[in-house]
Structure 1
Amino acid sequence: MKFAYRFSNLLGTVYRRGNLNFTCDGNSVISPVGNRVTVFDLKNNKSDTLPLATRFNVKCVGLSPDGRLAIIVDEGGAALLVSLVCRSVLHHFHFKGSVHSISFSPDGRKFVVTKGNIAQMYHAPGKKREFNAFVLDKTYFGPYDETTCIDWTDDSRCFVVGSKDMSTWVFGAERWDNLIYYALGGHKDAIVACFFESNSLDLYSISQDGALCVWQCDTLPEDLRLKAPTGWKADLLRRQEQEEEEQEEGDERETTIRGKATPAEEERKGKVKYSRLAKYFFNKEGDFNNLTAAAYHKKVHLLVTGFASGIFHLHELPEFNLIHSLSISDQRISSVAINSSGDWIAFGCSGLGQLLVWEWQSESYVLKQQGHFNSMVSLAYSPDGQYIVTGGDDGKVKVWNTLSGFCFITFTEHSSGVTGVTFTTTGYVIVTSSMDGTVRAFDLHRYRNFRTFTSPRPTQFSCVAVDSSGEIVSAGAQDSFEIFVWSMQTGRLLDVLSGHEGPISGLCFNPMKSILASASWDKTVRLWDMFDSWRTKETLTLTSDALAVTFRPDGAELAVATLNSQITFWDPETAVQTGSIEGRHDLKAGRKELDKITAKHSAKGKAFTTLCYSADGQSILAGGMSKFVCLYHIREQILVKRFELSCNFSLDAMEEFLNRRKMTEFGNLALIDQDAGEEDGVAIPLPGVRKGDMSSRHFKPEIRVTSLSFSPTGRCWAATSTEGLLIFSLDARMLFDPYELDTSVTPGQVREALRQREFTRAILMAFRLNERTLTQEALEAVPWAEIEVISASLPQLYVEKLLEFLASSFEVSRHLEFYLIWTQKLLMLHGQKLKSRSGQLLPTVQFLQKGVQRHLDDVAKLCDWNRYNIRYALAVSRQQGMKRTLEDAGLEKAAETSDEDAEMSDDDSLHLLGGAEDAVLA
């Protein structure tokens, strides 16, 4: 199971379109990202993308009241019933049409979907196993145009539906005698949202033109009467009542027929009636500042409204008092949600791909994340694997934490698209190249751009590389065909390497030597010696244009991707080709909607544009203009595995065959720009155009892989694609992967060995079973005093497995000192033997370093804080002691001057610590 990489997380995309939801505890936000769904844990500061995907972009998400189930509906009407507890799909369903919104009833027994101009109520799936999880109960008609929104009463007796025909419809979830349906008007534009008041049938309706209507009902929810049954149901009910009367004829008590009332009661309790109490208008700025989203919290009576100009308002209802008004950006707010306590408000902006969670009482951001505005172009892992840096066509450079999944710094110094990013070997400096003619170096300590490298003549840089010492920076030019070399220390241009006759497509330094490999469209790869007057050491002649070049981690091999879909391998010392892989049939490029040729012929023009060696150097990843990423074994030159990055048919070039239903006698239906003039009901005009705008603004992005990178730890790899930054990991798998297993190795035998205090045998059997929980139980049962003896008795092969287990345990376990003792003893006792296999063990050691480094950073911050507190406490106590002594002597004036002296002598007070500070740091 060495290549059992599974989808782990999606970074770089925080919101695309659809509705936002808070979980029932109010601590997490569920956000649709393309055809996937991400859960942002705001309490633990972590994002997690569910390992499931729909065939098209997600349109809406419905969350059950207990937070255990979610219904995810895509643009095509296909639905997934998902368990948020076990993160798996329970049921597939198709609503046979485009669904606009979905909402569960507060009791969790039913849910309503709005589809077209109707509303359909389904029985919600229960906790028992069912043949059909979705059973249609009723279909409600009434609106003439598309329905837009749903809201339920607190007792689940009624629900309200808004429509684009400017009407609001109240329906009964049961067969009520005094409420079948009720239509409300009063608006001049499409209804955006409608909400019931708490424990009442009173409701609010909000339209797109910024009007709010307050409706009052003359009937309480408990006054709704069930309609008397008719037909065979009435006969069945009558027989049951007669049987009950015969059984109780000896008792003298009144029998009331259910569902019936006396004529006097019917006259007194008539049909439900609504009356409009008030109508309010939101302040608008311009003709196109439409109201686009709204949310209402019934307990605190808080109404949040978002507008197309990026402004949102907070109002208190029913008085309509303005609490707050703030502008997020200049793009429309697509979705608004409020958590259960009413403290946090989530905003989604699809135009910028932005997600905000705002705490309105303290007026501060809980979460503020935004992906790249345009597609990502390049990525790089930090040397310890903790961070990923990405560069995009929008000119932004973002740094992501692989553990939390959040972006913690964004650099915006570039004025054009970023073409290449890389880390130095220290991991604290990022070097980027851009089409704006600059190469910039960013410091991750102070988060600033401390070096800017430029060329004598303005040029566009297509790639960048930094040598292993971090002293030499090189960048390739796209227009002048030259390679520029700078010094990191001084920022001066050292040399300009000429010789290529085409644009430079890739640069890579040898990790072990100062040799620079440059790939170009002139069908050559040149090796430059950095220590020998920058002259060309070798020139490798290729059969086609070179698109990417990379060195193996040990520097003993060079891989080149060419335009004819081949990957060639070279020995950089002898300039001899050692192997070749033909990848034309493995790429499997898809067919675009407007292509005139088949996908098979389209693949002939595609090629691999990015390469990456695995951490151990035995395999290579390749990706290009396709949804597939291919993993090849280098020595055997065979395809080991092909990873499908996306199954989202909302992207272009995903189809393998032509859809003949879209072909008409007038041409392809894809040429017709449907719904381009309006985006969710909001007109998108061109500048200077009032009406009759016939221009096309419909854009369907093409699926492609722009960059690949293996983590230095070897446990995961990342790819930048049209979907975002996808991470595939070995840690996300749920596989039984035993090692040298026989019938005598069972969990019971492991625990029996632990009871007999045969710890070495128990650890060896646990590793042969390869179950993490059992291995953890065996290790933690060992007394710390016996760790050294047991470490010495472990075979060499199990030492490597134990080091890998310890590295993964540092990320999740709290037993930090215990696992550090294990690590220290293993490395001290087996260090000399491990050196002989340093190449194969390098990913494991780097994985170990990543976990230790993260804890070191956390503990260092704590120690610095403790040191400051001790210093401050000593200074204050010394000052008070001196002041008290002087006051006792009656020298108040001297006491006043001693205040200043005590403040200046903080450093002297450290001498009184003795070994206290060392103890804190330890």
Structure 2
Amino acid sequence: MKFAYRFSNLLGAVYRRGNLSFTPNGDAILSPVGNRVTLFHLKDNKSETFPVATRLNVTCVGLSPDGSLAILVDEEGAALLVSLIMRSVIHQFHFQKPVHSVCFSPDGKKFVITKDNVALMYHAPGRKREFNAFVLDKTYYGPYDETTCIDWTDDSKCFAVGSKDMSTWVFGAERWANLIYYSLGGHKDAIVGCFFEENSLNIYTVSQDGALCVWQCDTGLDGLKPRPPKDTAKDKNKSTIDLDNDFAEQCKGEEIHGKASTNKQENREKVKYSRVAKYFFNKEGDFNKLTSAAYHKKIHLLVTGFASGVFHLHDLPEFNLIHSLSISDQRIASISINCTGDWIAFGCSGLGQLLVWEWQSESYVLKQQGHFNSMVSLAYSPDGQYLVTGGDDGKVKVWNTSSGFCFVTFTEHTSSVAVVTFTSTGYVILSASLDGTVRAFDLHRYRNFRTFTSPRLTQFSCLAVDSSGEIVSAGSQDTFEIFIWSMQSGRLLDVICGHEGPISSLCFNPVKSILASASWDKTVRLWDMFDSWRSKETLTLNSDVLAVAFRPDGKELAVAALDGQITFWDPENAVQTGSIEGRHDLQMGRKELDKITAKQAAKGKSFTTLCYSADGQSVLAGGLSKFVCIYHVKEQILIKKFEISCNLSLDAMEEYLDRRKMTEFGSMALIDEGAGDEDGVAIALPGVKRGDMSSRHFKPEIRVTSVRFSPTGRSWAATTTEGLLIYSLDSGLVFDPFELDIDITPSSIRKVLHQKEYAKGIIMAFRLNEKKLIQEVMETVPYNEVDVVCSSLPEVYVEKVLEFLASAFEKSRHLEFYLTWTRRLLMLYGQKLKTRSGKLLPTIQYLQKSLQRHFEDVSKLCEWNRYNIKYALAISQQRGMKRSAETSVGEEEMEESDSDYLMEHSAVDS
């Protein structure tokens, strides 16, 4: 259970494609990210990615009105029914063709999906126990081209479907006598959105050319007449064959075909629509097409997004412009409004942006953007609270591991960032880039306070900083040199030469002043910092060296080479202590255009990144593959292999070629149809079916560019093609008992607690090892008996109690209570725990991380309160001085008036 890491979160990518959906309470938003879905809690300031993945990228998400179910549909039409409460898949279904949109009815009893030119209405799952969760009710035919959008009336009696054939169809969810279907025209381009008014059949339609049509219905929702039931008297003598046919038709679902009616009497009785107004949005040329729209029925707010990144807010039906703003230079792909109408969410697929805007106060609630290109490197802060990533777009981003949000982005680099790292204090970030600079960023003031450069321009491919944080070293890719700078002065101290190939990796010994450098010249050199940077040892390997890493205690060195081997060395004696043949564990997938098989391709692959675990007993390795491997160093065996992705939208995922994609002209991957209307590209050439011939699709290859263990040992992270993946130990879902006995049950533990034998109850709870029960037992102990219970605990359980306290600090509000436990345990057992400091280090760092987070929150609150108290005191003093001044002036006036009165009376007396 020590390596029972499970997928925990996905950072670095916030939106790719598809529709955004607010939860029913409006406090959180669902965003599709690749083949997963991320839920952003806007009020709690947290994000979580569900451990549910489709086989291809998610294109549309349908959320039930109560927020308990979601339907995820991928590019090929495969759907997953997901429980948002349990975060698990309930049912799988395949619609056989790509689905354009999914929408639940407001009452939650039905949902409609659109594919091709057809709308399919299904019974909503979860209302009753059924074998098949997706039961087809009706099939609606009408549009001649692909359908684009859906909207329901408030009472779920009708729904509207927009199409690329410039028409909008209104269908009845039931067979109404006066409304089965109705077609609305009036547009000259594809329909982007259709929206019913509140409690009405009146409808607004928005097209891609920036036109808005207002349609008024002569009948209200109450005016819909139910169709009379069929005459069942003739059906009494049906044979069993007819009954079987009826059952088959019922399973298939009823079909409704939209066509012109020839009966004039019927047309008089049916619902009629009339266009009462048509408006046009301000456009900036033909390329600024309207790409997305959303409407809030209660406040009559229409939000429209354009290909230029501009969005408009209009008040309907008067079409008054409330606001217009540019949020990006890319196409706005999706818009959503929350239930109260205060927050508007925008998704820009070109840059991977997700924005939530409060339009009344004109401020951002959420503003997140991932790396534009792929991530290259990552590093954990010493307390494990922050993660820093560097990408090919030249950006350095810092992420909070507990909230999952990026809180600062540095954009000073002008080229790809090769390596990022933290100093030992955790408040300085260093990054090396191909633009020839190494930059130091301050996390207190969020600024670039140092820039290290070389005498002549060179590209830096690796970076390392020593344990004191005073010496910075970077290796060059083109001059084969290692540059050494002083952090304090920023001066170049030395330039080390000796390698005969590009420097691929640098690493400082955590304990001693030794720098290890790996190069493509098949050597690893050890340099002594105190001996004029002379080469101490040279380790010779059989292949080009790609990565090097020191064990946390500095007594072992791991080296990854191009031949797929991971070798372990004793840096003191320059002796190889072991090796692992990891080439076969990569299992490289086959690319679409590969001529060779996946098995043969894997022979030439190798690990490009590796790191030691927090305790130094295992090593984590990744490379140009979808697998990340954990090896035991001493036994030299593979412990566990993680498949980081199952997304077939990425290249090099499948082991065998798909014969369905092979045509007489070759693979379908060679045929590029262009980006089409998705990116707002106009059809420029005659004969071109979709898009512009200058635009191209690209299919990224799955790869792992960097892996790092958290200093707490509870999680590890990997930068991949999909984003920043975090795997952690979720102890709540893993049953891991410790010296369990048959007599230890929850009831017996509670019985012991009732007898006030608290130490015994804690030992029994930890042997059963259920987190909620442990929390119950710990919080039952009276505050004044914590010292007695701590002193009577066996040493074996002290480490387990400390580990529980570290995890409890993250969520519990009983801060002072758990701090008392921590302080007492460390005071009693501090000296004894020093002998096992190596094993206890991850637990202590985990504890430190939790306490540091609380310290920062409380210190900010205290500073704010102190400022308010000072302000209140200053105001009260100012008012007191003013009052005293007023009273002194009043007294002077009184004295003057008294003296005048006396003078007058004395004059009268005289």
- Residue by residue over 1:455-503, the C-alpha shift from the partner in whole angstroms, topping out at 9 and shown as x without a partner, is 0000000011100000000000000000000000000000001000000
**Alpha-carbon distance in structure 1 between the residues aligned to 2:24 and 2:161:** 23
Where does residue 748 of structure 1 map in the other structure? 747
Residue 791 of structure 1 and its aligned partner are, at CA, apart by: 1.1
Query: What is the one-letter code of the residue matched to 2:286?
Result: D
1:622-771 → structure 2 map (5 Å cutoff): 622-679=621-678, 682-683=681-682, 693-695=692-694, 697-731=696-730, 734-771=733-770
Return the alpha-carbon distance in structure 2 between the equivalents of residues 98 and 186 of structure 1: 28
CA pair 769-177 structure 1, distance change in 2 beyond 3 A: same
Alpha-carbon distance change, 267 to 330 in structure 1, aligned in 2, over 3 angstroms: closer
Name the CA shift for 1:178/1:875 in 2 (closer, same or farther; >3 Å).
closer
Q: 1:269 to 1:157 in 2, by over 3 A?
A: farther
Give the Cα–Cα distance (whole angstroms) in 2 for the partners of residues 427 and 449 of structure 1. 15
- Seen in structure 2, the aligned counterparts of structure 1 residues 354 and 488 have a Cα distance that, compared at 3 Å, is same
Q: State the TM-score, normalizing by the size of structure 1.
A: 0.92
Q: Deviations over 1:3-52 (max 9, x none)?
A: 00000000010000000000000111100000000000001111011110
In 1: Cα distance, 2:690 partner to 2:3 partner: 56
Q: Deviations over 1:275-298 (max 9, x none)?
A: 111111111101110000000001
Q: 1:454 to 1:272 in 2, by over 3 A?
A: same
Partners in 1 of 2:879 and 2:227 — Cα distance? 82
Return the alpha-carbon distance in structure 1 between the equivalents of residues 439 and 732 of structure 2: 39
Tell me how far apart the structure 2 counterparts of residues 692 and 832 of structure 1 sit (CA, whole Å): 71
Task: For residue 86 of structure 2, give the secondary structure of its aligned residue in structure 1.
Answer: coil
Match of 1:70 in 2: 70
Is 1:16 matched with 2:8? no
Q: Which moved more, 1:16-25 or 1:177-186?
A: 177-186
Partner of 2:363: 364
Question: Could you tell me how far apart the structure 2 residues matched to 1:693 and 1:279 are?
Answer: 31
Matched, 1:282 2:278: no
Residue type at the aligned position of 1:379? L
Q: Which amino acid aligns with 1:414?
A: H
Q: Is the 8 A contact 1:886 1:892 kept in 2?
A: no
How far apart, CA to CA, are the structure 2 residues paired with 1:351 and 1:111? 30
Paired with 1:216 and 1:879, the residues of 2 have a C-alpha distance of 64
d(CA) in 1 for partners of 2:233, 2:311: 52
Provide the rounded CA distance (Å) in 1 between the counterparts of 2:613 and 2:762.
29
Alpha-carbon distance between aligned partners in 1 of 2:417 and 2:285, rounded to the nearest angstrom: 36
Alignment length, in residue pairs? 864
Partner of 1:168: 168
Q: Are 2:180 and 1:180 aligned?
A: yes
Say if 1:373 and 1:394, in contact at 8 Å, map to a contact too. yes
Question: What pairs up with 1:156-555 in 2 under 5 angstroms?
Answer: 156-230=156-230, 232=232, 270-555=269-554
Task: Summarize the Cα distance change of 1:669–1:231 in structure 2 as closer, same or farther, 3 Å threshold.
Answer: farther
Give, in angstroms, the shift of residue 605 of structure 1: 1.6
Per the TM alignment, residue 886 of structure 1 is displaced from its structure 2 partner at its CA by: 4.3
Pair 1:755–1:544, CA change in 2 (3 A): same
Separation in 2, partners of 1:537, 1:445: 38
Aligned to 1:851, the other structure's residue is in SS state helix
Structure 2: distance between partners of 1:562 and 1:631? 17
Q: Distance in 1 between matches of 2:774 and 2:177?
A: 64
- Aligned with 1:25: secondary structure? coil
Deviations 1:565-613 (A, max 9, x none): 1100001111100010000111111011111111101111211000011
Tell me if the contact between 1:677 and 1:697 (Cα under 8 Å) persists in the aligned partners: no
Shift of residue 691, structure 1, vs aligned partner: 11
The change in CA–CA distance for 1:892 and 1:482 in structure 2 (over 3 A counts) is farther
Q: 1-side partners of 2:95 and 2:689: how far apart?
A: 37
Letter in 1 for 2:767: R
AA partner of residue 718 (structure 2): A
Looking at structure 1, the residues matched to 670 and 732 of structure 2 have their Cα atoms a distance apart, in angstroms, of 42
Measured after TM superposition, the shift of residue 677 of structure 1 is 3.7
| CA distance, structure 1, for counterparts of residue 732 and residue 445 of structure 2 | 37
Seq. identity, %: 77
CA contact (8 A) 2:675 2:681 kept: no
| 1:780 match: secondary structure | helix
Q: How many Å apart are 1:675 and its aligned residue?
A: 4.7
- In the other structure, the counterpart of 1:899 is none
Shift of 1:788: 1.5
Matches within 5 A, 1:63-212: 63-212=63-212
Structure 2 CA distance for aligned equivalents of residues 435 and 680 of structure 1? 31
Give the secondary-structure state (helix, strand or coil) at the position aligned to 2:619. Answer: strand
Residue type at the aligned position of 2:756? R
Please tell me whether the aligned partners of residues 4 and 733 of structure 1 are also in contact (alpha carbons under 8 angstroms). no
The answer as to whether partners of 2:217 and 2:273 remain within 8 angstroms in 1 is: yes
Quote the residue 1:878 is aligned against.
877
Over the residues paired in the alignment, what is the CA RMSD in angstroms? Answer: 1.9
Does the C-alpha gap of structure 1 residues 891 and 10 become closer, same or farther in structure 2, counting only changes over 3 Å? Answer: same
Superposed, 1:815-894 pairs within 5 Å as 815-890=814-889
Question: Who is 2:60 aligned against?
Answer: 60
1:240 alignment partner in structure 2: none
Helix, strand or coil for the counterpart of 2:73?
strand
Amino acid at match of 1:492: R
Question: C-alpha separation between the residues in 2 aligned to 1:84 and 1:732?
Answer: 20
Which amino acid in the other structure matches residue 354 of structure 2? L
Indicate the residue corresponding to 2:2 in structure 1: 2
Contact 1:485–1:496 (CA<8 Å) still a contact in 2?
Answer: yes
Amino acid at match of 1:319: E
Tell me, which stretches of 5 or more residues in structure 2 are unaligned? 238-264, 894-910
Report SS of the residue matched to 1:413: coil
**Residues 691 and 614 of structure 1: is their aligned pair in 2 closer, same or farther, counting only changes over 3 Å?**
closer
Cα drift, residue 118 of structure 1: 0.5
Indicate conservation of the 8 Å contact 2:310/2:325, yes or no: yes
CA deviation map 1:219-251 (0-9, x unaligned): 1111111222335488679xxxxxxxxxxxxxx
Residues 153 and 886 of structure 1: is their aligned pair in 2 closer, same or farther, counting only changes over 3 Å?
closer
What whole-Å deviation, never above 9, does each CA across 1:56-92 have from its counterpart, x for those lacking one? 0001000111111111101111111111111111111
Alpha-carbon distance between aligned partners in 1 of 2:589 and 2:349, rounded to the nearest angstrom = 27
- Offset of residue 778 of structure 1: 1.0
Amino acid at match of 1:775: I
Q: Distance in 2 between matches of 1:886 and 1:164?
A: 78
Q: Distance in 2 between matches of 1:105 and 1:233?
A: 34
Supply the distance in 2 between the matched residues of 1:691 and 1:156 (Cα, whole angstroms): 36
Q: Which amino acid aligns with 1:85?
A: I
Write the deviation string for residues 672-698 of structure 1: whole angstroms up to 9, x where unpaired: 113534426644879xx9999434511
CA contact (8 A) 2:673 2:691 kept: no
Tell me how far 1:882 sits from its aligned partner. Answer: 4.0
Counterpart AA for 1:31: S
C-alpha separation in 2, matches of 1:684 and 1:841: 64
Assess if the C-alpha contact under 8 Å between 2:8 and 2:726 holds in 1: yes
Distance 1:434 1:892 in 2: 74
User: Are the structure 2 counterparts of residues 267 and 529 from structure 1 closer, same or farther at C-alpha, using a change threshold of 3 Å?
Assistant: closer
Between 767-776 and 673-682, report the one with greater CA deviation: 673-682
User: In 2, Cα distance between the equivalents of 1:857 and 1:372?
Assistant: 28
Paired residues of 1:14 and 1:33 also in contact (CA < 8 A) = yes
- 1:171 corresponds to which letter in structure 2? F
CA contact (8 A) 2:119 2:140 kept: yes
- Alignment match, 1:576: 575
What is the CA-CA distance between 1:796 and the residue it aligns to? 1.4
Instruction: Give the Cα–Cα distance (whole angstroms) in 2 for the partners of residues 876 and 167 of structure 1.
Output: 66
Shift of 1:267: 8.4
Report the Cα distance in structure 2 between the residues aligned to 1:189 and 1:333, rounded to whole angstroms.
18
Deviation of 1:793 after TM superposition, in Å, equals 1.5
1:573 and 1:867 mapped to 2: Cα distance?
54
Q: Deviations over 1:353-403 (max 9, x none)?
A: 000000111111100000000000000000001100000000000000001
Counterpart amino acid of residue 357 in structure 1 = V
| 1:863 shift after superposition | 1.9
- CA 1:873–1:593 in structure 2 vs 1: closer, same or farther (change >3 Å)? same
Q: Deviations over 1:295-323 (max 9, x none)?
A: 00011100000000000000011111111
Gaps of 5+ in 1: 238-265, 895-922
Q: Which deviates the most, 882-891 or 215-224?
A: 882-891
Counterpart Cα distance in 1 of 2:578 and 2:555: 13
1:391–1:418 Cα contact (<8 Å) kept: yes
